[in-house]
Chain A
Amino acid sequence: MPKYDSAKRPPLIIDEFFQLIRYRDLVILIIENILKSRYKRSTLGIFWMLLNPLLQTIVLTIAFGTMFKSSLPNYAVYLLCGLLIWNYITQTTQYAMVSMTQGGGLLRRIYIPRATYIVASAGNGLINLLVSIASLAIIIFFLNHPITLSWFFLPISILILTMFTLGFALLLSTAAVFFNDTVDIYQVLTQALFFLTPIMYPPSILPTEIGKYLIWNPIIPLIDIFRIPIYNNTLPDMDIIIKAIILATIMLIVGWTLFTNKADQVIYRL
């Protein structure tokens, strides 16, 4: 018989983790339902997931491809690698914030683990990323871009990226519950950061006085650990990997701790 004793509740950061494991089927169902509701109604169905990044890449390649012809051969591959990671991080975090603030009413009505929606958002984002990698593969195939053993590093990259994204989503969702304008501020900031991140252009085109600040852009190592194995066909440098791991670990710990400690108050705020 299950027992609950508020005096014997384990620390919040552990409690939430065990509760999520107990409710794992719910997390999986929510992810399935997000995918279903998004793609059931469009006639293109699952192909839309493939088509969307392809079209985006084609348009941007036509627009900018010639500009970086010499510095970035197979520009489409470079571009799409960066875009996929950028979209993974920003779309997942935005989705998490919105589902927490709008769908969070359920948390006030019945007990479910408070992080359910955020973990489901991260899971949904991860699936979208994996599907988009298929469209990246199509482009790589058409451009005859080499595929080497360095692809075996990608699972590690994706794991690091997922840790970062989940932590960031938890952090932002907590903020979004307490401050209504978090989503708006975040949108403005990400838009600015997008152009300050070498996604559409090579880092070399920035003038040195701006370029030297690039080491402070936390997104760059996260993109590099994914893009270098695919685009440059080598393993990323050790210092990039270490930077990315440290960043992701800190983000996950901070996000998880903040969220789980504020989760009980969330009920009063939603």
Chain B
Amino acid sequence: MNNNIIQLENVTISFRVPHEKIPTFQEYAIRWLKRRRVSYTYFNALNNVSFSVKKGDTVGIIGSNGAGKSTLLKVIAQVIRPNQGRLYVEGRIAPLLELGAGFDYELTGRENIFLNGAILGFSRKNIADRLESIMEFSGIGEFIDAPIRTYSSGMVARLGFAIATDTQPDILIIDEILAVGDTDFQKKSAKRILQYHNDGSTILVVSHNLDSIKNLCNHVIWLEHGLVKNTGPVDDILNQYLQKDHPAD
């Protein structure tokens, strides 16, 4: 796989959408007795998507709403399995798609660090070793032993970010440019991401903010209706995107 850290070959994600909803046994049985088959339509969220990302690249993913950007990130993060095609990923992924996924609001900040850490695939011992640094970066301070239902939403997001990014990942996946916590924390988190980038992490970003894509990325993938419209260096693709799709802008 030479030096590609991520490689997708003809990846297709199709959702089966039934024309009529039959979510119960009861209705299913009635239909079966009446010998009425359920008809489905298939919706391709991603259609034959192929591209590769080299180690250390910073890749922006652009496209209008419903183009399949978030689905693509979920495929790479292995949340959704492709129906067809092949996905190859090398290295540990830090998905910043859902900060604090699985947080239990009745548990304390400390307990949630372990829970969220385990959800991200870390062992308990590994989290215990890094507990101090996570707590410090999150800036939660003395509230760490209070249930997180007492936290502000900014504090919850800060804690989630601190856990997800505590160790340097090989691949960092970011959905929308992070707006975590207050301005200070936003600066701090942006600094950390840049640091990881300089240290060799590969970064994938989905954003509608073309300026931040331009600043952060060297490569862009342009998706439209689940298809790759074009890929290439950031300036070329952004120009095409602005001209062809948004002539009015």
Name, among A107, A110, A181, A185, the residue most crowded by chain B CB atoms within 10 Å (CB to CB): A110
Question: How near does chain B come to A230, taking the closest CB pair, in angstroms?
Answer: 36
Q: Which of A7, A23, A111 contacts B78 (CB 8 A)?
A: A111
Query: Which A residues touch B78, using CB under 8 A?
Result: 4, 111
Main secondary structure of the interface of A (DSSP, over half): helix
Q: Is A212 interfacial (CB-CB < 8 Å)?
A: no
Q: Interface 1/0s, chain A 71-115, versus B by CB < 8 A?
A: 000000000000000000000000000000000001111111000
Q: Which of B88, B90, B102 contacts A6 (CB 8 A)?
A: B88
Question: How near does chain B come to A121, taking the closest CB pair, in angstroms?
Answer: 16
Given A33-B115, A106-B119, A109-B97: A267 in contact with B16 (beta carbons within 8 A)? no
Q: Is A25 interfacial (CB-CB < 8 Å)?
A: yes
Question: How near does chain B come to A196, taking the closest CB pair, in angstroms?
Answer: 21
Query: Which A residues touch B81, using CB under 8 A?
Result: 6, 264, 267
For the side of the interface on A, what is the size category? 20 to 34
Q: Which of B89, B92, B104 contacts A33 (CB 8 A)?
A: B104
A3 touches B124 (CB 8 A): no
Q: Interface 1/0s, chain B 141-163, versus A by CB < 8 A?
A: 00000000000000000000000
Q: Is B218 interfacial (CB-CB < 8 Å)?
A: no
B119 touches A112 (CB 8 A): yes
Question: How near does chain A come to B169, taking the closest CB pair, in angstroms?
Answer: 11
Query: Which B residues touch A112, using CB under 8 A?
Result: 102, 119
B114 touches A29 (CB 8 A): yes
Name the interface residues of A180-233: CB closer than 8 Å to any CB of B. 180-182, 185
A4 to B81, CA, bound (A): 12
Q: Is B98 interfacial (CB-CB < 8 Å)?
A: yes
Given A110-B119, A111-B79, A181-B26: A1 in contact with B88 (beta carbons within 8 A)? no
Given A4-B89, A110-B98: A23 in contact with B118 (beta carbons within 8 A)? yes
A107 to B25, CA, bound (A): 23
A106 to B124, CA, bound (A): 20
B77, closest chain A residue (CB): A111
Name the interface residues of A15-38: CB closer than 8 Å to any CB of B. 22-23, 25-26, 28-30, 33, 36-37
Given A106-B101, A267-B79: A4 in contact with B88 (beta carbons within 8 A)? yes
A56 to B194, CA, bound (A): 61
Given A29-B114, A109-B79: A180 in contact with B91 (beta carbons within 8 A)? no
Q: Which of A7, A37, A106, A181 contacts B106 (CB 8 A)?
A: A37
A110 touches B104 (CB 8 A): no
Q: Interface 1/0s, chain B 98-139, versus A by CB < 8 A?
A: 100110101100010011001111111000000000000000
Question: How near does chain A come to B145, taking the closest CB pair, in angstroms?
Answer: 14
A4 to B88, CA, bound (A): 6
A39 to B24, CA, bound (A): 34
B16 touches A25 (CB 8 A): no
A30 to B118, CA, bound (A): 10
Q: Is B56 interfacial (CB-CB < 8 Å)?
A: no
Given A6-B81, A25-B118: A109 in contact with B86 (beta carbons within 8 A)? no
B118 touches A109 (CB 8 A): no
Query: Which A residues touch B95, using CB under 8 A?
Result: 110-111
Query: Which A residues touch B80, using CB under 8 A?
Result: 267
Given A6-B82, A264-B81: A23 in contact with B23 (beta carbons within 8 A)? no
A-B residue pairs in contact (CB < 8 Å), sample of 5: A2-B91, A30-B115, A106-B119, A111-B78, A179-B24
